[in-house]
Amino acid sequence: MILMKAKPLLENRRSFLKQKTEALIQTLGRAPRLVVILVGDDPASQIYVRNKAKAAQSVGFIGESYVFEATTPPQKVFEFVQDLNENPDVDGILIQRPLPPSFNEKEVMFWVVPEKDVDCLHPENIGLLVTGNPRFAPCTPAGILMLLDFYHLPVEGKIACVVGRSNIVGKPLATMLMARNASIIQIHRSTRNPADLCKQADFLFVAAGSKNLVHRDWIKPGAIVIDVGIHRDEFGKISGDVDSASVESLVSGITPVPGGVGPMTIQMLLENTYTAALNQGK
Ligand code: NAD
């Protein structure tokens, strides 16, 4: 059984990105700049936002985070984002989700200009992805594919089951797996008998946001399981959407939580920001 940790892959990838950044700074005359925006005081989001800015700094970028109160009118945040859109020294902008209910997600996805949309949520970027000509790859799905490559696990010709269909993980992940010639089963809240469908999967990707949803009865023996979920209990212990203890003896590979998909997501955010800066400099 392979425990598919991100660390062995990230050590090289981070230092390579740092080297490339040094060269890019020479060309641009400035460091790539990533701005992360949080609205509200969700404790988990606060940690994510800080970690993203810190990770950016660790490779030589300017990494900044801005926090607005949950009661901030959407127009005010929109204007802040517009200023960043127009600022030639800003390369990447990320608006952390979830947003307070006063924000209309269908509008917010248009706020960041596509060229700086390093989270890959703008409909133009999603369209480019679906039609096979991506500008950016959405961070979590791209990080997952990179993990599969590192552990030599090709999905071509295999059955891949994706639990979840969010715009940020489930939908783009299914698209990217299809582009690699996997056959896709997509599971969501209205799916009947999800365990029976998951049991057909050679590769099972779980991004439902429901702690320990997937257990032994959902797994085909020998399957590869990718756990995207992140849940923090009252003692700060982190676990995923998969009941890992119950499936470990059955699978041939599984990502740990923490230390699997999460760090890969951050790496891909940095790589997208690098690409955005490179494109701005052209
Ligand atoms: P979301 O809430 O936007 O979407 C969840 C999806 O799962 C929905 O499509 C829903 O239909 C489906 N779903 C929910 N419960 C289900 C059930 N019981 N059976 C079948 N389908 C079900 O969530 P999201 O933003 O995609 O995130 C999912 C999880 O992944 C969360 O725990 C989140 O914290 C985590 N996450 C982790 C990373 C990372 O880097 N590791 C990145 C993004 C999200």
| Tens-digit pLDDT profile for residues 210-227 | 999 999 999 999 999 999
In 28-179, at which residue ranges do the beta strands (DSSP E only) sit? 33-39, 62-68, 92-95, 159-163
User: Do residues 214 and 206 touch, judged by C-beta distance below 8 A?
Assistant: yes
Enzyme catalytic residues: 52, 96, 119
Residue 85's contacts (CB-CB under 8 Å, 6 or more residues apart) are: 93, 111, 112, 113, 116
Which residues have C-beta atoms less than 6 Å from ligand 1?
Answer: 140, 163-166, 168-170, 187-189, 191, 194, 207-210, 213, 228-230, 261-262, 265
Provide the token pair at 203.
Answer: 């590769």
Nearest CA to ligand 1 atom 40: 262
What's the mean pLDDT when you consider all of the chain? 97
Domains identified in the chain and CATH numbers = 28-113 (3.40.50.10860), 139-262 (3.40.50.720)
The predicted structure's pLDDT at residue 43: 87
Nearest CA to ligand 1 atom 35: 229
Per-residue model confidence as pLDDT tens for the chain (282 residues) = 999 999 999 999 999 999 999 999 999 999 999 999 999 999 889 999 999 999 999 999 999 999 999 999 999 999 999 999 999 999 999 999 999 999 999 999 999 999 999 999 999 999 999 999 999 999 999 999 999 999 999 999 999 999 999 999 999 999 999 999 999 999 999 999 999 999 999 999 999 999 999 999 999 999 999 999 999 999 999 999 999 999 999 999 999 999 999 999 999 999 999 999 999 987
The neighbouring-strand residues paired with 38 are: 67
Tell me the pTM: 0.97
Residue 170's contacts (CB-CB under 8 Å, 6 or more residues apart) are: 162, 163, 164, 186, 188, 207
- State CA 236 to chain mean position distance: 21
Instruction: Tell me which DSSP letter residue 224 carries.
Output: E
